[in-house]
A and B are shown apart, each in its own frame.
Chain A
Amino acid sequence: MAGASSKSFVVALCAVLSCGSAWAAPSEYEVKAAFIYNIAKFVEWPAVASPVSGRARLCLLGDDPSGGAFEVLQGKPVGAANWEVVRVDGGGSLKECRVLFIAASERANLGRILARIEGRPVLTVGDTEGYAGQGVIVNFYQEENKVRFEINRDAAGRAGLAISSQLLKLARIVSGAEK
């Protein structure tokens, strides 16, 4: 019953995002893309982080494990702006991101990456065991074959992002971080 329900949920989401393979079983990353899209609704960015001309960047860093699933978000609305999905390397452009997805391949570099955006209102997202403990704000994990997420409240606070209590209620809260 839970599986069927999960599937239908993603189908509903795909109706919003118009995914390519809506009626096939949604892939793990399609679910994660949908989660990012929805999580963003519960996060408040400070005014300074307003992107240039209505563009909100969703940056993908590292080897993309999604197989392009995140592209589905391209142009979808986020508040008054629209998502712009971009691939980034480790350059200065990271500061321009509103959401930064850090792939598992960057595990070794994670400390450096986070230092680069220290203090910037960037919602860091990952799906690698232990990321949250190291200072990534939202980290996906699997439980009973379902996608769940953990939130590092301290990291969010440092980045100047306010996360809705309704979202926090659903997440596993991780405290502690570097420094």
Chain B
Amino acid sequence: MNLTESFRDAPIGRKLILIGLLTTALALFSVSIILVARGWVDWRGKTVSEMESYAALIGANAAPSMIFADYDAAAEVLQTVVGNSDIVDAVLYDREGKVFARYRAPMHPEGNMPLVESDSYLFTFDQLVVTKPVMLKGEVWGTVYLESDLRGLYADIRRQALLTFITAAGVFLVTLFLFSRLQRAIVEPVVNLSGVMRQVSSKRDYAVRVPVHGKDEVGVLAGAFNDMLAQIQARDEALARHSEHLEQEVAQRTAELRENNRLLEHELVERKRAEETMARLRYELAMVLESAGEGICTMDANGNHVMVNPSAARMFGYEAEEMVGRDSHSLWHYAKADGSPYPEEECPVYATTRDGVVRRSEGEVFWRKGGTSFPVEYVCTPIQSNGAITGTVVIFRDITERRRAEAERRRLSEAVAQSMEAIVLTNTERSIIYVNPSFMRLFGYSAQEVVGQSIDLLTVEDGIYLNPHQTTEIALAQGAYSGETMRRGKDGRAILVLLNVAIVRDEHNEISGYVGTMTDLTELKHAEMEARQRMVELTHANAELRELNAKLAQAQIQLMQSEKMASIGMLAAGVAHEINNPIGYIHSNLGALGNYIGNFIGVLDAYEKVEQSAPDRSALFAGVDELKEKVDIAYIRQDVKALLHESHEGVERVTKIVQDLKDFSRIETEEQWTPENVHHGIDSTLNVIWNELKYKCEVIKEYGELPDIDCLPSQLNQVFMNLLVNAAQSIETRGRITIRTGREGERVWVEVGDTGQGIPPENISHLFDPFFTTKPVGKGTGLGLSVSYNIVEKHHGKIEVHSEIGKGTTFRVWLPIRQIKESA
């Protein structure tokens, strides 16, 4: 910092010398360094390549001696090549890295040979080491190691560097001398110039001049400075002259100002008077604007509000002050009635501002603050001043009320027009002035045909119903008429109508005519009848539904019952299957037993023959006879056969029962329609319930000739069982059950008759209802006959009952032989 400052304040001459010397010194120093460095690199390169060529020479010559292990020859090669050079140590290494031959300079110490990588070089502080492979016929036989002393080389380089720097120093001194001489040519004129300037500024003497030498920059500067001095001198003189005139001029200017002042005062009075007039006019205008019902706005040429009267502000919902200065279009005219944007180009207000044409518009809307709109009718008038349009006045009226009234009127007439009732309007003379479309439909007239005609046109002359004349008279007298009557259509047809006649009054409450409304009663009558019909149908449907509901409940109960039966059947089938096996071997054993006993008896007979032919039997057979007597052998002989026979029969019977049980309860996973012998089914069932029957009744079968019929056998068996069990239960002590069968056309019948107590007639109708039973609690479910009934129905058959109290009951089941194939 200090150094910079002292340099800045130093005289120019010294600055020049300093700059020149620094530059020169830097240049010289750089050149010297480059030269020395260059010399160093050159020497290095040269030395390395020299050493490498020595190494190559040694390699070529020593290879054979290495091959044939001739140490002396190798040493000789080293001695010859290295003898008179800077190389102080030369070694040949064999392939193992062992020393093969070595040559040392006389003063060089032994040992200390750094082994470096083959075919490379290395500079140490004062040594250069070069290694090369010994090659012969493409084979490496060893390595040459050469070490050179660099001290001599370094001394050379030092000498060279010293010389370079001395030369540079000489050049520098010469430069210094030349600079100190030459700088005076530039510095001296500058010093002269600054001396003169100091003189001018201290003494204010503008008459002195700088001597000018030559035309260089300093010469030009001196010339310009001289010119400036001359100008300053001239201006000083002019200034002195001017101040003498000044006083005179001031006096003259004051007089002029006083005259002006007087004129201004006069003007002020005039203006005040004009302003008063203006204020009065403005007040009047304001009153007009204030009291006007219409909205009035004035806009400038850009469409910005200038004035808004209170009505306008109220309609827009703004304060007048809020609107002034704002753009009218974007404030309340930005959208059309349907909400779509209203481009400025289409705006009539703007158009008037542009072309000065007065425009009227109705049906557009203006927009209030808050985004609601109202329909308006408006006029825009241009404001012109000096032939130019400076703005627009818009005067507008809210026509919402008018619109509403119009809409209401339209709605009323629409209501009349759309009414389903025929409506006719007449004047006080009862001439038709309006008919609605329903009227035209009802009576067949068009509007043109009847308007202007008398309402008497519709009269039906039958003397029963009131004619139009009479009804209007009643309306006139009582204010209104209402009643059924007949009116005639265009085609002459009499139409029964409900007629209402009312008086129409105008705005002054004077009667202006009559209005008649007529409802066609013919259709109403029809509708009433139809409704009645519908009611009857609904009642029917309801009853049917109720019945269906009951059936559904019944079906559910039956389903439960049949499931119960199915599980009992399954149980029975299981028991039957289990019994079947032991019965089987009892049966066969009984057969064998019969044979054995037959054999025993044969043997016994043979013995008796022997006994009879014996000469002295009593002595011999006394014990035997006694035994015979005791066991009653004759009886055993007879009875054993009877016993066997009975047992056999018993087993046969058990077998049959089991088989029947299986047949009866045949489990059908899916009900299968199969052709089946009905007799067989009845027999099976009898067998199953034989226990219940045998003590109470005898069973008489009177079977006819029956074909196999399509049926669900197990279900049919259930029917037979129910009938048979019921029959048995109706017999109190002992009776008879008769089973008959027969065929009649495509149907067969099975009849089960009993000699029981019979069914009271009042119960006959409930016989097939579910849960209807006359048995004591716990003895019957009341489902048997109901289930049977359904099974028979499923077979498309029927059940008939005949019963007489005290005599018995007969059920007859009818079944078709073939079932019509159903898709289900």
Is B100 interfacial (CB-CB < 8 Å)? yes
Q: Determine which of B61, B67, B96 lies in contact with A11 in the assembled complex, contact meaning CB atoms within 8 Å.
A: B96
User: Which one, B64, B94, B98, B137, contacts A170 given CB within 8 A?
Assistant: B64
Residues of A within 8 A of B100 (CB): 5
Does B70 sit within 8 A of A, measured CB to CB? yes
B69 contacts A169, CB within 8 Å? no
Chain B, Cβ-Cβ closest to A15: B95
Question: Chain B interface: which of A35-43, A67-75, A121-129?
Answer: A35-43
Cβ–Cβ contact B98 & A8, under 8 A: yes
Give the complex CA separation of A38 and B70 in angstroms. Answer: 13
Structural contact, B137 and A5, CB atoms closer than 8 A: no
Partner of A169, one of B64, B71, B95: B64
CB contacts (< 8 Å) of B177 on chain A: these are: none
Q: State in angstroms the CA–CA spacing of A12 and B71 once bound together.
A: 16
Whether the pair B64, A167 counts as a contact (CB closer than 8 A) is yes
The reply to whether the CB of B635 lies closer than 8 angstroms to some CB of chain A is no
Query: Once the chains are docked, how many angstroms separate the CA of A8 from the CA of B71?
Result: 13
- Residue-wise interface mask of B (115-144) relative to A, using a CB-CB cutoff of 8 A (1 in contact, 0 not): 000000000000000000000010000000
Enumerate chain B residues within 8 angstroms of A9, measured Cβ to Cβ. 66, 69, 94
**Residues from chain B with Cβ under 8 Å of A2 in the complex:** 71
**Bound: A167/B64 CA distance, A:** 6
A residues 109-167 near B (Cβ < 8 Å) are 146, 148-149, 164, 166-167
Inter-chain CA distance A167–B100, complex, in Å, is: 18
A6 at the interface (CB under 8 A from B): yes
The residue in chain B whose Cβ has the minimal distance to the Cβ of A37 is B67
Does B161 have its Cβ within 8 Å of any Cβ on chain A? no
Are A166 and B71 closer than 8 Å at their CB atoms? no
- Whether A41 pairs with B137 at a CB distance below 8 angstroms is yes
- The answer on a CB contact under 8 Å between B95 and A170 is no
A12 touches B96 (CB 8 A): yes
Contacting residues, chain A, for B64 (C-beta < 8 A) = 42, 164, 166-167, 169-170
Nearest residue (CB) in A for B101 is A5
Q: Are B94 and A12 in touch, CB under 8 angstroms? A: yes
What is the bound-complex CA distance between A5 and B95, given in angstroms? Answer: 11
Q: A38-B67, A166-B63 are in contact. Are A8 and B73 (CB under 8 A)?
A: no
* Bound CA span A166–B63, Å: 9
Determine how close the nearest CB of chain B comes to the CB of A71; give it in whole angstroms: 22
Q: Is B68 an interface residue (CB 8 A)?
A: yes
Give bound CA distance, A169 to B66, whole Å.
12
**Docked-complex contact A5 and B69, CB < 8 angstroms:** yes
**A13-34 interface code vs B (CB 8 A; 1 in, 0 out):** 0000000000000000000000
Give the distance in Å from the alpha carbon of A5 to the alpha carbon of B69 in the complex.
8
Q: What residues of A have a CB within 8 angstroms of the CB of B183 in the complex? A: none
**Interface flag for B164 (CB, 8 Å):** no
Q: CB distance A12 to B95 under 8 Å?
A: yes
Q: How many residues of A contact B (CB 8 A)?
A: 20
Residues of A within 8 A of B95 (CB): 12
With A11-B96, A166-B63, A169-B64: A6-B69 Cβ-Cβ less than 8 Å: yes
| Consensus secondary structure, chain A interface | helix
Which listed residue, A5, A8, A38, touches B68 by the CB 8 Å rule?
A38
Bound Cα distance from A158 to B94, whole angstroms: 36
B65 CB-CB contact with A under 8 Å: yes
Residues of B802-823 contacting chain A, CB below 8 A: none
The CA of A146 and the CA of B71, in the complex, are separated in Å by 11
Contacts of B69 in A (CB 8 A): 5-6, 9, 146
- Could you tell me how many residues of chain B have their Cβ less than 8 Å away from some Cβ of chain A? 18
B551-574 Cβ-contact flags toward A at 8 Å (1 or 0): 000000000000000000000000
Instruction: Determine the chain B residues whose CB is within 8 A of the CB of A8 once the complex forms.
Output: 94, 96, 98
Within 8 A of A (CB), among B53-87: 61, 63-71, 73
Give the chain A neighbours of B67 by CB distance below 8 A: 38, 41
Question: Are A170's CB and B68's CB within 8 A?
Answer: yes
CA separation between A166 and B65, bound complex, in Å? 8
CB-CB nearest in chain B for A168: B64
In the bound complex, residues from chain B placing their C-beta under 8 Å from that of A35 are: 68
The residue in chain B whose Cβ has the minimal distance to the Cβ of A79 is B137
Across-interface contacts of B96 in A (CB, < 8 A)? 8, 11-12
| Complex CA distance for A164 and B95, rounded to whole angstroms | 23
B137: chain A residues at CB < 8 Å are 41
**Contact residues in A for B94 (Cβ distance below 8 Å):** 5, 8-9, 12
B60's nearest neighbour on chain A, judged by CB, is A166
Assess whether A170 is in contact with B70, with CB atoms less than 8 Å apart: yes
**Which of A42, A146, A164, A170 is the one whose CB lies under 8 Å from B65?**
A170
Contacts of B65 on A, CB cut-off 8 Å?
A: 169-170
Task: Output the residue of B67, B69, B71, B95 with the most chain A CB within 10 A.
Answer: B69
Chain A residues closer than 8 Å to B73, beta-carbon distance: 169-170
Task: Give the one of A4, A5, A167 with max B CB within 10 A.
Answer: A5
Is B70 in contact with A5, judged by CB distance below 8 angstroms?
A: no
Residues of B within 8 Å of A5, CB to CB, are 69, 71, 94, 98-100
Give bound CA distance, A41 to B67, whole Å. Answer: 11
Q: Please, how many angstroms separate the alpha-carbon atoms of A8 and B69 in the complex? A: 10
Chain A residues, Cβ within 8 Å of B98: 4-5, 8
The distance in angstroms between the C-alpha atoms of A93 and B65, with both chains bound, is: 34
Cα distance, A60 to B363, chains bound together (Å): 140
- Alpha-carbon separation in the docked complex, A156 to B98 (Å): 35
Residue of A nearest to B141 (CB): A12
Residues of B within 8 A of A11 (CB): 96
- Specify the chain B residue showing the minimal Cβ separation from A146: B69
B205-221 contacts to A, CB under 8 A, are none
Please give, as numbers and ranges, the residues of chain A lying within 8 Å of B61 by CB-CB distance.
166
User: How long is the Cα–Cα vector from A166 to B68 in the complex, in angstroms?
Assistant: 11
In the bound complex, residues from chain B placing their C-beta under 8 Å from that of A167 are 64
CB neighbours (8 Å) of A41 from chain B are: 67, 137
CB distance from B58 to the nearest CB of A (A): 13
Q: Which residue of A lies closest to B137 (CB)?
A: A41
The interface residues of chain B lying within 8 Å CB-to-CB of A146 are: 69
Within 8 A of A (CB), among B279-301: none
Shortest beta-carbon distance from B111 to chain A in Å: 14
In this complex, which of B68, B70, B73, B98 has the most chain A Cβ atoms within 10 angstroms of its Cβ?
B68
- Interface of chain B residues 83 through 112 with chain A (CB within 8 A): 94-96, 98-100
What distance in Å separates the Cβ of A173 from its nearest Cβ neighbour in chain B? Answer: 14
| Shortest beta-carbon distance from B72 to chain A in Å | 9
CA distance A11 to B73 in the complex (A): 21
Q: A164 — which chain B residues lie within 8 A by C-beta? A: 64
- Which residues of B have CB within 8 Å of A169? 64-65, 73
| Chain B residues within 8 Å of A148, by CB | 70
What is the CA–CA distance of A169 and B63 in the complex, to the nearest angstrom?
11
The residue in chain A whose Cβ has the minimal distance to the Cβ of B142 is A12
Hey, which chain A residues are within 8 Å of B63, CB to CB?
A: 166
* Chain B residue, CB-CB nearest to A35: B68
**A39 to chain B: closest CB distance in Å?**
8
Q: Would you give the shortest CB distance from B163 to chain A, in whole angstroms?
A: 48
Please, which residues of chain B bring their CB within 8 A of the CB of A4?
98
Across the interface, name the chain A residue whose C-beta is closest to B68. Answer: A170
Cα-based distance from A8 to B99 in the complex (angstroms): 11
Report the minimum CB–CB distance from B503 to chain A (whole Å): 149
B143 to chain A, nearest CB (A): 13
Among A4, A148, A164, A169: residue with most chain B CB under 10 A: A169
Q: A5-B69, A5-B99, A12-B94 are in contact. List 20 more A-B contacts (CB 8 A).
A: A4-B98, A5-B94, A5-B100, A6-B69, A8-B94, A8-B96, A8-B98, A9-B66, A9-B69, A38-B68, A41-B137, A42-B64, A149-B68, A164-B64, A166-B61, A166-B64, A169-B64, A170-B68, A170-B70, A170-B73
- B residues whose Cβ falls under 8 Å from a Cβ of A: 61, 63-71, 73, 94-96, 98-100, 137
15 contacts between A and B (CB under 8 A): A5-B69, A5-B71, A5-B98, A6-B69, A8-B94, A12-B94, A12-B96, A35-B68, A41-B137, A42-B64, A149-B68, A169-B64, A170-B65, A170-B68, A170-B73
A residues in contact (CB < 8 Å) with B: 2, 4-6, 8-9, 11-12, 35, 38, 41-42, 146, 148-149, 164, 166-167, 169-170
The 5 nearest A-B residue pairs measured at CB: A166-B64, A9-B69, A12-B95, A170-B70, A38-B67
